[in-house]
């Protein structure tokens, strides 16, 4: 599923930021549709800031 998301992002010019540590934690601990755990708010906010700055 992650590969498909990346393909669609690239096709549509959506910036991709790689953070393997956060990605692996999310993959192993969070189901699709669940809220992001509070301990990852800062990491996700930083990633979103990077992505938005690339627009």
How would residue 55 be classed by pLDDT, with cut points 50, 70 and 90?
low
Per-position DSSP letters for 1-55, written without gaps between them:
-HHHHHHHHHHTT------HHHHHHHHHH--TTSPPPGGGHHHHHHHHHHHHHT-
Predicted confidence at residue 54, as pLDDT, reads 74
CA distance 42 to 1: 25
Domain count, the chain: 1
Asked, for residue 10, whether it belongs to a domain, the answer is: no
Asked, for residue 4, whether it belongs to a domain, the answer is: no
Asked, for residue 49, whether it belongs to a domain, the answer is: yes
Asked, for residue 35, whether it belongs to a domain, the answer is: yes
Asked, for residue 5, whether it belongs to a domain, the answer is: no
Predicted confidence at residue 15, as pLDDT, reads 79
Asked, for residue 1, whether it belongs to a domain, the answer is: no
Q: Which domain holds residue 32?
A: 16-53
Write out pLDDT tens, residues 6-53. Answer: 999 999 988 788 888 888 988 898 998 999 999 989 988 998 898 788
């Amino acid at each position: 599923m992650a590969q498909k998301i990346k393909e669609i992002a690239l096709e549509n010019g959506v910036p991709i930021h790689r953070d393997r540590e956060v990605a692996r934690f999310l993959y192993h601990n969070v189901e699709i549709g669940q809220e992001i755990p509070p301990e990852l708010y800062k990491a996700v906010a930083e990633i979103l800031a990077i992505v938005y700055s690339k627009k």
